[in-house]
Structures are given as structure tokens and as C-alpha cells.
Amino acid sequence: SSDALLRIINDVLDLSKAESNQMTIERIPFDVGDMLRDVVAFYRPLADAKGLTLASRIAPALSDGHVGDPVRLRQIVSNLIDNAIKFTERGSVTIDAQLSSPDAGPRCVEIRVTDTGIGIPADNLPTLFDVYLQADTS
């Protein structure tokens, strides 16, 4: 779809900005819970089409009082959910979000995306965060 193509183009442009130290990370107030619910709603049809359960457990404490870059966080969470759905043939994808432990800092958020998919082969783990490299090109 055109939304998916636009997201890919924006991801590539953002990666280029990051590599050249030209990316600006915003520090603005936003509702983490609302952003996560929006992302889940966007991906629900894709999960439904594959017969997957897309579950979310978003702590009420994430409603307000957070400062960060909602566009970048949405981008990260979207990529994680997209990959989880892509590589899960049956079962579920779950998004858990809560406040981190107080040791992590004030109002820090922990977001986990888990799935019942195939996982990442151990031999691909060393290159997991290499730029422009995919463990599976499908």
C-alpha cells in the first residue's frame, strides 16, 4: 500500500540523517499510551488477515507526563510489530508497555513486543543491528 511505501521511504531518509548526524530527536510532551494504541489499531488488520492475535497491555500510567519523540518511538514500535507479524505464522503478537523500574529514571517507559514466531537464528544475532542488513529478506 502507499502507506507502507511512504513508511519505507521515510525510514531510509531517517537512517541517512542518523548516519550523517543530522537527525533531530524531539523532546515534546505526548501520550505514550495513545500512540501505542494507534499503532496497534493500524496493525490489527494485518494480524487479522494472517489469523494472528494482536494483543496489547498498556499500563494506565502511560497516559500523560512523558516527554520524547513520538514520531521516532512510533517508528521503532511499528517496525517491531511489523516484523513480529511478518515472521509469525500462527499464534500471537503481544505489546506490553509499562513504566520502567525507578532505577531506570523518572517516567522511563519499557515497551516489549513478543511473538510466537520463528525467532532470530543465533548465527544472525551478531549482525542484528548492522545497517542495511536483514536476517531474512522476505
In Å, what is the CA distance from 61 to each residue of 27, 34, 56, 92? 19, 12, 15, 25
Distance CA 112, CA 99 (A): 12
Asked if the model's pLDDT at residue 107 lies above 80, the reply is no
Asked if the model's pLDDT at residue 1 lies above 90, the reply is no
pLDDT in tens, 52-91: 999 999 999 887 778 999 988 998 999 899 999 999 999 9
Q: Where is pLDDT greater, at 128 or 136? A: 128
Total domains, the chain: 1
pLDDT at 65: 77
pLDDT at 70: 92
pLDDT at 64: 74
In this structure, is residue 8 part of a structural domain?
Answer: no
Distance CA 87, CA 134 (A): 13
Which residues lie closer than 8 Å to 37 by C-beta, 6 or more apart?
56, 58
Q: Read off the pLDDT of each residue in 95-101 and give the average, rounded to a whole number.
A: 91
In this structure, is residue 86 part of a structural domain?
Answer: yes
pLDDT at 137: 56
pLDDT at 134: 55
pLDDT in tens, 8-38: 666 666 656 655 666 788 899 999 999 999 9
In this structure, is residue 37 part of a structural domain?
Answer: yes
Range of the domain at 40: 26-122
In this structure, is residue 71 part of a structural domain?
Answer: yes
In this structure, is residue 50 part of a structural domain?
Answer: yes
Distance CA 98, CA 101 (A): 9
In this structure, is residue 17 part of a structural domain?
Answer: no
In this structure, is residue 129 part of a structural domain?
Answer: no
Domain containing residue 63: CATH number:
3.30.565.10
In Å, what is the CA distance from 48 to each residue of 9, 29, 61, 107? 25, 32, 28, 33
In this structure, is residue 61 part of a structural domain?
Answer: yes
